[in-house]
Amino acid sequence: MKRMDSLSRWKSRHSLIVWLGIVLNMGFVLPLVFAPAWFLSLFGLTAEPLLWPRFSGVLLGILSIFYIPATFDIDRYRIFAWLSVLPSRSFGVLFFSVMVFLAQQPAAFLLGVALDGGIGIASLCCLIRIVSLEQQIAEGDS
């Protein structure tokens, strides 16, 4: 019974972390869609035409929607939970790291590394712990 309680706590933690990531994503989505020039200027960035930052905001919003099912039922939507870490969050980290360190893009893009990296690592830790607890329960350890 103790392992089942722990499993429930880890599933709850995972949901909270994913929701935090969604909320943080929306902190980018809304300004990129509705006020891209202003938002980019906060980081010392510009873009012309503004269609592209708006489009990236829309895509980030759509991607974030796909994170939601696993927050309600991680057992049913387990694949979505794993896909939110690999490739989604991890590729964000890789992309922005490569752009800053190899393509000489502005360091402001490291905010994407911090956001995706932090949420991705926290989600991954939860998923690994969930799988571990499930295996222990299946083997009958208590």
pTM of the model: 0.93
- Cis peptide before 87, with omega less than 30 degrees from 0? yes
Task: Output the pLDDT for position 53.
Answer: 97
SS3 letters for 80-126? HHHHHHHHHHHHHHHHHHHHHHCCCCCHHHHHHHHHHHHHHHHHHHH
Q: Which among 21, 26, 24 is positioned nearest to 122, based on CA atoms?
A: 21
> What's the mean per-residue pLDDT of the chain?
96
C-alpha dist (Å) from residue 83 to 43, 53, 91: 29, 24, 11
Domain extents for the chain? 2-138
Average the pLDDT over 7-30 and give the result. 98
